[in-house]
Amino acid sequence: MAANTLPGAVKIVEVGPRDGLQNEKDFVPTAVKIELIDRLTQAGFANIEAASFVSPKWVPQMADGAQVMDGIARRTGTIYSALTPNLRGFEGALAARADEIVIFGAASEAFSQKNINCSIAESIERFAPVAEAAKANGVRIRGSVSCALGCPYQGDVPVESVVDVVQRFAALGCDEIDIADTIGVGTAKRVHEVFEAVTKVFARERLSGHFHDTYGQALANIYAALEEGIAIFHASVAGLGGCPYAKGATGNVATEDVLYLMNGLGIHTGIDLDQVVAAGDFISRTIGRANVSRAGKALLAKQQNAIACA
């Protein structure tokens, strides 16, 4: 374990509009996606994952990425990211003025096939021209390593497989790399092991933790990653989401819960928790989905009590 004290500040990447909404069964209207992103922008996020430029046959929910990116009110200093599995996706993201593109691979062969229909090696070949084009156009590039803590098809994923993909992403020139627990099976010990290994091959300050919360371990995993000196975390407002290619997986850890933790630890985020709670309430009510943020629900109940007692 790194002997670091916890970081004094972290970047929270809000992924609800993409990782969250991609999993909804009924199409979420473009105007609702835009309002959600605008509310999150106003809450102060420095990075919002706003859209995917993927095949609409594979993920129909993200088919309106261009309209979403066109309709949002951007804040200077906020990075609006978009997923791009291939050059076609990159062209869409570039035309939509994405500030950052995300190439997404996996540390598990089986998941790579299910999610992007190719092997890990083929995916890296496909990402190479995407990365080159991003560099040529001055667009930031992030690499996301799915199944870094376990795979729904393969089960255990060796730490060396994660290190291998991180090295390949590093060679492509990624500015940031996500260690993703796609199905939320990881526990704190494995988080320490994985970050200890990957920080040997990629800069600690450019690695992030992307934890889904299926087994309720995400906050413990974030704390373990903080102990490893990791200072970028992904979270989804109201705990929106799941994964279309990982049955039974729940959404990312809820943003409200992460902010509550960071506030309690005195770690700076620059984000207004009350506005995120309101955004979580807005999206949950609008799409008729349960709000699964514990902190979000508690804070909403507290507000309602205060109104009732006033």
Helix (H, G, I), strand (E, B) or coil at 295: helix
Distance CA 63, CA 79 (A): 21
- Residue 108 near ligand HMG by CB under 6 A: no
- Residue 169 near ligand HMG by CB under 6 A: no
Enumerate residues 6+ apart whose C-beta is below 8 A from 143: 102, 103, 104, 105, 127, 165, 166, 169, 172, 174, 176, 177, 178
Per DSSP, what are the bridge partners of residue 254?
Answer: 236
Q: Which does 23 bind (CB under 5 to 8 A by kind): ligand HMG, Mg ion, none?
A: none
Q: Which does 225 bind (CB under 5 to 8 A by kind): ligand HMG, Mg ion, none?
A: none
CB of 55 to ligand HMG, least distance (A): 3
Tell me whether residue 64 or residue 257 sits nearer to ligand HMG (CB atom): 64
- Residue 214 near ligand HMG by CB under 6 A: no
Strands 11-14 and 232-235 turn out to be parallel
Cβ 251 vs Cβ 267: under 8 Å: no
Amino acid symbol at 153: Y
Tell me whether residue 236 or residue 291 sits nearer to ligand HMG (CB atom): 236
Cβ 66 vs Cβ 95: under 8 Å: yes
- Residue 161 near ligand HMG by CB under 6 A: no
Is 243 catalytic? The answer is yes
Sole binder of ligand HMG in the list 182, 214, 217, 293 (CB under 6 A): 182
CB of 129 to ligand HMG, least distance (A): 13
Enumerate residues 6+ apart whose C-beta is below 8 A from 6: 226, 227, 265, 267
Tell me whether residue 102 or residue 278 sits nearer to Mg ion (CB atom): 102
- Residue 85 near ligand HMG by CB under 6 A: yes
Q: Which does 55 bind (CB under 5 to 8 A by kind): Mg ion, ligand HMG, none?
A: ligand HMG
φ and ψ of 277, to 5 deg? -60, -45
Give residues in contact with Mg ion (CB under 5 A): 19
- Residue 55 near ligand HMG by CB under 6 A: yes
CB of 279 to ligand HMG, least distance (A): 20
Sole binder of ligand HMG in the list 14, 19, 64, 228 (CB under 6 A): 19
Residue of closest CB approach to Mg ion: 19
Of 147, 151, 174, 243, which one is the catalytic site residue?
243
Strands 11-14 and 207-211 turn out to be unpaired
Q: Of all helices (H) and strands (E), which one includes residue 196?
A: helix 188-198
Segment contacting ligand HMG by CB under 6 A, of 40-48, 54-62, 156-164, 261-269: 54-62
CB of 106 to ligand HMG, least distance (A): 7
Beta strands in 40-191 (DSSP E): 47-52, 79-83, 100-106, 140-146, 176-181
Residue 255, number of CB atoms within 10 A of its CB: 35
Residues found near ligand HMG in the complex (CB under 6 A)? 19, 22, 52-55, 57-59, 83, 85-86, 88-89, 104, 115-117, 144, 146, 180, 182, 210, 212, 243
Catalytic residue annotation = 243
